[in-house]
Structure 1
Amino acid sequence: MPAPITGPLWTKNFIILSFSNALLFSGFHLIMPVLPLFIADCGGTDRQIGLIMGSFTFSAILIRLFTEPGIDRLGKKNFLLLGMLVCMLATAAYYRADSVGAALAVRLFHGVGFGIATTLYATLAVDIIPAARRGEGIGYFGLGTTLSMAIAPALGVWLVAGHGFGVLFAVASAGQLVAILGLGAFTGVPAPAPSSGRGAASLLDRVLERKAVFPACLALLTGAALSGVLGFVALMAKQAHLTTVGYFFTVTTSFVFLSRLFVGRIFDSRGHAWVILPGAVCLLIGQIILSQTATTPVLLTAAVFQGLGVGILFPSLQAWMVGLVPPDRRGIVNATFYNFLDTGVGCGAVVLGIVAEAAGYPAVYLTAAAVMGLFIVVYAASLVRGRPPAAGQGRAD
């Protein structure tokens, strides 16, 4: 079902899909800021924490090799339900992990479910969003995720402090069960699309959309820079004797929310160049400020720039990539987006874990800032050469 060129955005299916996707990410962000503390309690070192946090992304990437066969065999909705079921079971299984090895195994299992679910949510969303409002629609689709980011990390910190890790994992699992039940009301699921006459897809074509490699590489750099925030900000705050790390995530996500109210419309009307470069600069500034964090005001100032950068970059890069391919390749292009993003997060977590152990947490964020500096140089050079499409959308509808 190709997306209509025009039409209403806030349909019943769009609302259901956005709400269910928000619950998926609520479970993810609920445990994310405190999972490094949980692994440390299991005896993990900074290097092992980075490895375990990164392993999640590698299993997510591996399962996306089977996105197209999974859709062909089960259909988009059923394949999404399978991914959500795995996420729910994995989240509950963290409670039984009492060693570094067990935590690694559960994390890998969780990545499988998350890899399926994120790809299918994005694909279904693009299928039902009118093409003329794609940047706006993807931005609004992510608002539920943004709200979960505002509430879930602080709630996770509070649950662990007041009730322990067992209650945390139970609450996260319950939210994902609600997401599964909510998907039952989703209707009008597109049938599997034809293969565009290209014959049997190669293994590479199942996981990589070659037309979108350049913006995908930018997503990889973004993920690498953000992995330091996801994996080490709670440990850094604890080392600095700051008890406000929950507010960091709340402020970050508040500004993600604010940015998404306008960034999609700018993307649709002016193109990606008007939003991606400012977003990258915001993220760079946020990382530099984080490297100097010693007080709560500095931490929260960094959160403002982090929120603006994330809120601008993620929907813009994804909408740009989707606009470069025909409708039957949307599942693959979304898999490409998340694979490159997750590769960045995974490799970044491992490398930054080594940096943290060798040089401390300020060095982690200076390294992440250098990654965003590379992003800006590469993207600006591409604009000078005129490599990306001038309007940014490049629709193939």
Structure 2
Amino acid sequence: MATNISKLWTKDFILFTISNTFLFSGFHIFLPTLPIYVLNQGGTSTDVGLLSAIFVFCAILIRFFTDYGIKKWGKKYYLYIGCTLCFVAAISYILATTVPRLLSLRVVHGLGFGIATTLYATIVSDLIPKSRRGEGIGYFGLGTTLAMAIAPGLGVWIVDNFSFNNLFVVATISQIFALFCLSLCSLPADRSIHTVKQEKSSFMDKLVEKSLLYQAFLALLFGVCIGGILNFIALLAKEAHIANSGAFFLMCTICIFLSRLVTGRIFDRKGPAWVILPGAILFLLGFVVLAQSKSMTAFLAASALYGFGYGTIFPALQTWMFNLVTSDKRSAASATFYNMIDIGNGVGSVALGMLAGKLGYASIYWCSAVIMGVFLLSYIWFLVQEKYSSANNLDDIDAKS
């Protein structure tokens, strides 16, 4: 897709960002509310766990067929398919009066979400000039941050004051707006992947783009740490006798928003190390403070550190992956990034939950700090090796000349 070499705020970029925001709003509105709905329908805590597991599994599964979907329909229309599946799931939740029906709809929603998230990120990376990709991905992600900040609270408010049917209607309207904004974008149905000879690929090749194995490893570690926050922060607050755990997410969201206004430009001008290193340090410190939090002040300080770290690392890792591959491999890079985040989140939730059962919820965040220590040391080692390799290459060039 051709773009102006320096222009970022095009009509398509703006509409695409708004569309993505509405899609994620329709996802986040269900995070705190569907578990309640399952229990109201006679489900168990196991069913609540299946609700998340099925969704994540289907999102990962469908990304194995990203290349096929693009070859068959092109990026734009394959994205339409993903958004349409999300719409069908949202409107059909009204009819899901039993747990089996609800779980079957999570399959549909997971498949649609897996397609949509991969293609949104892929196409937006095509729209953004490479010289401003870090900045553009950061701005694009602000929509997701906004959805994460508003939609869960809105969902709980609707359930408390109205009904679950009203919740499903609002979520459906959000998906309709996502499709409407997408329809206004003048994007070609890019099937450029056709021009590249496709080699036979293994299971691992479909799960992870082989040229991004190291970056995928970092995303996996990052995903494990995210899972600890999303699933257990309210339980930690209860264990530490801290009221109003929702304040954590409010402070966190503000800091994510602020970080994304700045770090993208630093990435474009200085490179990934100038963003990922400080982000990893802030993220690690956030877990250390969180593990020791006994007051609301410490709790909010940890939230701020976590928010700045998350808001810095997430878009930087994603942009770094896009910059390392050719245009025909960006869909694979996008799938790799989200697969590793989702797998890390899922595996981390189970493993950290088992740890919490034996040692308490504070142990989750000590463990997360250790994992981020591995992330940080691994990245420092990568930078040292990269610098050493570059120095050797220069020496070889000097010797030959």
**Relative to 1, partners in 2 of residues 1:239 and 1:180: Cα closer, same or farther, differing over 3 Å?**
farther
CA distance in structure 2 between the aligned counterparts of 1:209 and 1:233, rounded to whole angstroms: 32
Matches within 5 A, 1:56-205: 56-94=55-93, 104-195=103-194, 197-204=196-203, 205=205
SS of 1:323's equivalent in the other structure is: helix
CA distance in structure 2 between the aligned counterparts of 1:96 and 1:389, rounded to whole angstroms: 60
CA distance in structure 2 between the aligned counterparts of 1:151 and 1:178, rounded to whole angstroms: 16
Residue 393 of structure 1 corresponds to which residue in structure 2? none
CA distance in structure 2 between the aligned counterparts of 1:111 and 1:228, rounded to whole angstroms: 21
How much has 1:206 moved relative to structure 2?
4.4
Matches within 5 A, 1:238-253: 244-253=244-253
- Residue type at the aligned position of 1:342: D
How much has 1:387 moved relative to structure 2?
7.4
Residue 305 of structure 2 corresponds to which residue in structure 1? 305
Residue 254 of structure 2 corresponds to which residue in structure 1? 254
Residue 394 of structure 1 corresponds to which residue in structure 2? none
- Residue type at the aligned position of 2:108: F
1:279 aligns with 2:279: yes
- Residue type at the aligned position of 1:189: P
Q: TM-score, normalised by structure 1?
A: 0.88
- Residue type at the aligned position of 2:81: L
Residue 381 of structure 1 corresponds to which residue in structure 2? 381
Matches within 5 A, 1:9-48: 9-38=8-37, 43-45=43-45
CA distance in structure 2 between the aligned counterparts of 1:232 and 1:117, rounded to whole angstroms: 27
How much has 1:241 moved relative to structure 2?
6.5
SS of 2:229's equivalent in the other structure is: helix
How much has 1:293 moved relative to structure 2?
4.3
Residue 265 of structure 1 corresponds to which residue in structure 2? 265
How much has 1:150 moved relative to structure 2?
2.1
**Relative to 1, partners in 2 of residues 1:382 and 1:342: Cα closer, same or farther, differing over 3 Å?**
same
Of 101-110 and 349-358, more deviation after overlay is shown by 101-110
CA distance in structure 2 between the aligned counterparts of 1:360 and 1:286, rounded to whole angstroms: 18
How much has 1:256 moved relative to structure 2?
0.7
Residue 215 of structure 2 corresponds to which residue in structure 1? 215
CA distance in structure 2 between the aligned counterparts of 1:337 and 1:388, rounded to whole angstroms: 27
Residue 399 of structure 2 corresponds to which residue in structure 1? none
How much has 1:28 moved relative to structure 2?
2.0
- Residue type at the aligned position of 1:29: H
- Residue type at the aligned position of 1:148: A
SS of 2:29's equivalent in the other structure is: helix
- Aligned pair count reads 388
How much has 1:309 moved relative to structure 2?
1.2
- Residue type at the aligned position of 2:180: L
**Relative to 1, partners in 2 of residues 1:49 and 1:343: Cα closer, same or farther, differing over 3 Å?**
same
Of 324-333 and 165-174, more deviation after overlay is shown by 165-174
CA distance in structure 2 between the aligned counterparts of 1:261 and 1:148, rounded to whole angstroms: 16
**Relative to 1, partners in 2 of residues 1:217 and 1:65: Cα closer, same or farther, differing over 3 Å?**
same
Q: Contact 1:36–1:231 (CA<8 Å) still a contact in 2?
A: no
How much has 1:109 moved relative to structure 2?
3.1
Higher gyration radius (CA): 2
**Relative to 1, partners in 2 of residues 1:167 and 1:282: Cα closer, same or farther, differing over 3 Å?**
farther
**Relative to 1, partners in 2 of residues 1:84 and 1:381: Cα closer, same or farther, differing over 3 Å?**
same
- Residue type at the aligned position of 1:314: F
**Relative to 1, partners in 2 of residues 1:72 and 1:82: Cα closer, same or farther, differing over 3 Å?**
same
CA distance in structure 2 between the aligned counterparts of 1:137 and 1:198, rounded to whole angstroms: 30
- Residue type at the aligned position of 2:353: G
Of 76-85 and 380-389, more deviation after overlay is shown by 380-389
Q: CA RMSD in A?
A: 2.7
How much has 1:191 moved relative to structure 2?
1.8
Of 107-116 and 311-320, more deviation after overlay is shown by 107-116
CA distance in structure 2 between the aligned counterparts of 1:256 and 1:288, rounded to whole angstroms: 19
What are the Cα deviations for residues 247-297 of structure 1, in whole angstroms up to 9, with x where unaligned?
A: 322221111110011111111111111111211122222223333445433
Whose RCO is larger (CA < 8 A, sep 6+)?
1
CA distance in structure 2 between the aligned counterparts of 1:194 and 1:388, rounded to whole angstroms: 35
CA distance in structure 2 between the aligned counterparts of 1:277 and 1:255, rounded to whole angstroms: 17
SS of 2:192's equivalent in the other structure is: coil
Of 369-378 and 329-338, more deviation after overlay is shown by 369-378
**Relative to 1, partners in 2 of residues 1:98 and 1:314: Cα closer, same or farther, differing over 3 Å?**
same
What are the Cα deviations for residues 336-389 of structure 1, in whole angstroms up to 9, with x where unaligned?
A: 111111111121122233334444432333332222222112112212222799
**Relative to 1, partners in 2 of residues 1:85 and 1:238: Cα closer, same or farther, differing over 3 Å?**
farther
**Relative to 1, partners in 2 of residues 1:61 and 1:336: Cα closer, same or farther, differing over 3 Å?**
same
Can you give the 5+ residue segments of structure 1 that lack an aligned partner in the other structure? 391-397
Identity %: 45
SS of 1:31's equivalent in the other structure is: coil
Of 213-222 and 98-107, more deviation after overlay is shown by 98-107
**Relative to 1, partners in 2 of residues 1:92 and 1:345: Cα closer, same or farther, differing over 3 Å?**
farther
How much has 1:121 moved relative to structure 2?
0.4
How much has 1:233 moved relative to structure 2?
2.5
What are the Cα deviations for residues 285-344 of structure 1, in whole angstroms up to 9, with x where unaligned?
A: 222333344543333222211211111011100111111111111111111111111111
CA distance in structure 1 between the aligned counterparts of 2:43 and 2:265, rounded to whole angstroms: 48
Q: TM-score, normalised by structure 2?
A: 0.87
